Amino acid sequence: MLRDAVYGVYGALRLARLDPAGVAFIGRDEAAALRSFWVLAVLIPGQMLLTLMTYWDRIPEGHLLPVLALKTATLLVRTFAVYLIVFHILEMTGRADRFAHYVGATNWGSVVQVAVVVPVVAVVQGNVLPTTYGEALGTVTFFWTLFYSGYIAAQTLGVGRMAAFGLVMLDFFVSQLIEGLADARIWGMPAG
């Protein structure tokens, strides 16, 4: 497990540097893809930190634990919903054999994304920078995460930029739908 984590994060970091050789460090088989789900041990606390930093002043009194639980469940549902859809797309296009590699690389890449996004959100939410610079930093980080996800898809699936972009947009829209449903539930909670 530790070996997979070290190699997976190292490969993801190389991919973040736009080094296509990074995919060689990430397992390509189903067992490696399953082991990559250990990243949830990093992603769940990261999701909780992001929730606390972003929504702290808006969480209804007495609802902190239900909000964190719902946001954690949202992360899991969102992740598996996107993977299910991507699997079927790859199956229809004759690329299902690359799905495990895509899952592993995407999971390990999520660790890199959390390592970048959490400090950026802390800087923006903490008003460390003037509002204009904070918004610009947040926007650049958002687009970087989309680009990085697309690069991972292109490198692991052997698809062109447009197909990778399509998968990233699919992920984005499915995630927004699920997040929107969860947020509607959260903000619909009665106070106290």
Mean pLDDT of 127-134: 90
From the list 105, 112, 116, 117, the residue with the least C-alpha distance to 153 is 105
22 falls within a domain: yes
Q: Is residue 17 part of a domain?
A: yes
Domain that holds residue 119: 2-187
Average pLDDT over residues 113-141: 92
Number of domains in the chain: 1
Average pLDDT over residues 68-93: 94
Assess if residue 65 is contained within a domain.
Answer: yes
In a domain, 83, yes or no: yes
Query: Which secondary structure element, helix H or strand E, spans residue 70, and what is its range?
Result: helix 64-92
Q: What is the largest CA-CA distance in the chain?
A: 53
Q: Write down the pLDDT at residue 191.
A: 52
pLDDT number for residue 42: 85
Residues 26, 7: contact at Cβ < 8 Å?
yes
pLDDT at 98: 95
- Residue among 37, 183, 2 nearest 108 (CA): 37
Q: What is the pTM of this model?
A: 0.89
* Number of C-beta neighbours around residue 18 at 10 A: 11
Say what the pLDDT of residue 118 is.
92
Judge whether 192 lies within some domain: no
Task: State the DSSP H helix or E strand holding residue 105, giving kind and residue range, or none if neither.
Answer: helix 99-125
